[in-house]
Amino acid sequence: AQSVTQPDIHITVSEGASLELRCNYSYGATPYLFWYVQSPGQGLQLLLKYFSGDTLVQGIKGFEAEFKRSQSSFNLRKPSVHWSDAAEYFCAVGHYNTDKLIFGTGTRLQVFP
Amino acid sequence: EAGVAQSPRYKIIEKRQSVAFWCNPISGHATLYWYQQILGQGPKLLIQFQNNGVVDDSQLPKDRFSAERLKGVDSTLKIQPAKLEDSAVYLCASSPGRGAYEQYFGPGTRLTVT
C-alpha cells in the first residue's frame, strides 16, 4: 500500500539558515510526488510537484525538492529560510491511475530570528 | 481566479448533534475532494466526486457521514450524529479532472465536538 513518512515532526532553524525536510514514500510504481505548505488556520498550498523528467524540481517561494528513486525519497530544501516560512509542511504521494493523494503526518517548521 | 470557498470556518457543536459543511470549488473543476485532518496528522481523504458522481468513498464513515454534490458544482458534507472523535479540520479541494492534477485546497472548517 502507498504510504508516506515524514520522520521529523518538528524542526527549528534560524532565519537565514538552510533547510531540508525529509520525505520517504512507499509505492510500487513511479509515484507522483507533492509538497504542500499549511500556515496556521489556512488550507494547503502547493509548493512543488514531481511527475517525471528532471529529478530536481523548483517550486514557489524559493523551495526545491529532489526525487531519488534509489532512496524512495523526495526531500524539500531551501537555501535560506525566512521567518515567513514557519508553517506545517506535508509531503504527499499519488499515482496517475488514481487521483488519491496520501499525505504524510507533516513537519512543523519553526524559524527563530 | 477565485479559490476554493468553504463555510463555515469554525463550528462548535455538542456530541450527537448534526452539522453540515459547504464547499464551492474552483470554477470548471470537475473533481472535488473532502478531507478530514485531525490535529497532528495529515489530511485523510473522505470522499471524491467526479462531477456529481462519487469516485471513492471508501474512507467515509457512512453510518454518520454523508456528502453530495448536486449539479456537479457545490458540495455539502454532513455529520449526523457527531462524535467527539469527529473534532478535526474538514478540508475541501478541487482539481481540473481525473489524472495526476494537483489539488487546490480551501481554508477548511474547524469542527469542535464537545
Residues of chain A neighbouring B93 (CB-CB closer than 8 A)? 43-44
Question: Are residues A41 and B91, on separate chains, in Cβ contact within 8 Å?
Answer: no
Could you tell me if A112 lies within 8 Å of chain B, comparing CB atoms?
no
Cβ of A82: how many Cβ atoms within 10 Å? 12
Could you tell me if A10 lies within 8 Å of chain B, comparing CB atoms?
no
d(CA B68, CA B106): 17
Kindly state the DSSP code that residue B103 receives in the 8-state scheme. Answer: P
Query: What would the pLDDT profile of A74-108 be if each residue is shown by its tens digit?
Result: 999 999 999 999 999 999 998 666 678 899 999 99
d(CA A79, CA A63): 8
For position B46, what pLDDT does the model report? 96
d(CA A23, CA A6): 5
Query: What would the pLDDT profile of A39-71 be if each residue is shown by its tens digit?
Result: 988 889 999 999 888 899 999 999 999 999 999
**Residue A109 identity:** L
Answer whether residue B1 shows pLDDT above 70. Answer: no
Residues of chain A neighbouring B94 (CB-CB closer than 8 A)? none
